[in-house]
Structure 1
Amino acid sequence: MSKKIKLAAIVAAGVAAGGWWAMQPEANLPPALSAAAEAQTATAESEAAQIPDMVLGQEDAPVTVIEYASFTCPHCQHFHETAFDQLKTDYIDTGKVKFVYREVYFDKFGLWAAMVARCGGAEKYFGISDMIYDTQKEWLKAENEAGIADNLRKIGLKAGIAPDALDACLKDNDMARAMVANYQTNATKDDISGTPSFIINGQKYSNMPYDEFKQILDEKLAN
């Protein structure tokens, strides 16, 4: 069973390293903080356009696959471990599929991981994403939030991001707000209720084995 998405308001409260963000349901906030969260969300919605989709493949590919996934979701990790490389080899690298990856934030840890992945820019994004998924169990098993933050920072450093640049990314509160606003806008528009979910040429699908995924892609390509 996929986790259910809970759209959340981001509150400007740094945790762990000071630049990390805490996510809390708006309904649980005191009135003053709730009002602040609403104002921040409104501002972030205007900034959401600054958050680009991360894309692999040719722009004019006949089939577009949009994956909604969370870096903390074990089902998403399983898809990337068992199916993504085949998808890339069979369809993305051959010009048949344009692949769009959209982050979902179940929790603050998923947001932190996404901030690390995006810190490397578009050219490093998918490589860092692979590292995050490949080591998901390891970096998530830290005993506290500071440990998880440190584990993710180590992934960024291992990927070649300079320490100062990485710290700046992780303290970019405006970017975090915009990322969450972008996530909320896209997930609402596409009616996403769990991860991984896929939009294939405009039609929504839930998680599935690669053989079924391949069959759907072949049918789309044949039409």
Structure 2
Amino acid sequence: MKRRLLAAALATAFPLAVVTVMAPAYAAGKDWNQTFAQTEDGGHWVGNPEAPVQLREFVSYTCIHCAHFAQESDGPMRLEYIRDGKVRVEVRHLIRDPIDMTIALLTNCGDPNKFFGNHRAYFSRYDDYMDKVKAASADQIKGWNEAPLSQKFRLIASDLDLYSTMENRGVAKPALDKCLSDEAKMRTLAKQSTTGANKYGIKGTPSFVLNGELIDDAHSWDTLKPELDLKLGI
């Protein structure tokens, strides 16, 4: 019964929600990991705007393969691809369930330039918060499903100890509560998810779009890296 209730909670999802290839513009001595931008529809970029390879990552915070990808790719991506301007990376949310929406709202809370740090911080805690999801009681899951929208994501954040990650990054709880009840942002994230999934025909996470083309067989760092190297002629 508990498993069915958990499945029902995770199924209470918001609707799932062409990059031009630019000439190489490497900059000696410049660390492009410090260059950020936010798109009008809520995506987040890091890297050289004129990088020859433009990568879009479609990820879910409740996806274990996304967590593995984030953990395995973080170091080499930043050091070998983003830093010297070869690749620019955009993270796009694929919202699968209310927990996804909760963490997406939190990662987007505060200074947009801190998004990628927030993003890494939550994926580094994946096992911790998903263990709490699996251990959730029937009453907790019922509460997640039945709470008004203005309270739903604050309740999830409290039950799964999601506040502490952002508090440790300098964002106070009142500000986090405001973000977690921001219905306009919820709609933006849900639309981003639906639009991305429909545009590229994405069926699972993580999924990757390179220079406007979905890479069908890449769903991990081990399978994405050769595709990056091929685009770069390495």
Structure-1-length-normalised TM-score: 0.73
Counterpart in 2 of 1:86? 76
- After superposition, the CA RMSD in angstroms is 2.3
Is 2:124 the partner of 1:134?
yes
Distance 1:192-1:24 versus aligned 2 partners, 3 A rule:
closer
Pick from 39, 46, 54 the counterpart of residue 44 of structure 2: 54
Task: Return 5+ residue gaps in structure 2 as ranges.
Answer: 1-11, 16-38, 145-153
Looking at structure 1, the residues matched to 123 and 194 of structure 2 have their Cα atoms a distance apart, in angstroms, of 22
Task: Please state whether the residue corresponding to 1:149 is helix, strand or coil.
Answer: helix
Task: Please state whether the residue corresponding to 2:90 is helix, strand or coil.
Answer: strand
Structure 1 segments of 4+ aligned residues over 4 angstroms from their partners: 145-148
Pick from 100, 106, 109 the counterpart of residue 110 of structure 1: 100
Looking at structure 1, the residues matched to 43 and 118 of structure 2 have their Cα atoms a distance apart, in angstroms, of 15
Amino acid at match of 1:161: V
Aligned residue runs from structure 1 range 20-31, under 5 A: 23=13
Is 2:170 the partner of 1:180?
no
Q: Is the 8 A contact 1:67 1:102 kept in 2?
A: yes
Counterpart in 1 of 2:229? 218
Counterpart in 1 of 2:26? none
Task: Please state whether the residue corresponding to 1:189 is helix, strand or coil.
Answer: helix
How far did residue 208 of structure 1 move?
4.3
Q: Is the 8 A contact 1:50 1:178 kept in 2?
A: no
How far did residue 148 of structure 1 move?
4.2
Looking at structure 1, the residues matched to 117 and 57 of structure 2 have their Cα atoms a distance apart, in angstroms, of 16
Pick from 91, 98, 112 the counterpart of residue 101 of structure 1: 91
Aligned residue runs from structure 1 range 187-206, under 5 A: 187-205=197-215, 206=217
Pick from 112, 115, 134 the counterpart of residue 122 of structure 1: 112
Amino acid at match of 1:201: N
Counterpart in 1 of 2:157? 149
Higher strand share: 1
CA displacement 1:78-104 (0-9 Å, x = unmatched): 001112321121101110001010011
Q: Is the 8 A contact 2:207 2:219 kept in 1?
A: no
Looking at structure 2, the residues matched to 202 and 24 of structure 1 have their Cα atoms a distance apart, in angstroms, of 25
Count of paired positions: 180
Task: Return 5+ residue gaps in structure 1 as ranges.
Answer: 1-21, 26-48
Looking at structure 2, the residues matched to 60 and 211 of structure 1 have their Cα atoms a distance apart, in angstroms, of 25
Is 2:168 the partner of 1:158?
yes
Q: Is the 8 A contact 1:117 1:125 kept in 2?
A: yes
Task: Please state whether the residue corresponding to 1:85 is helix, strand or coil.
Answer: helix
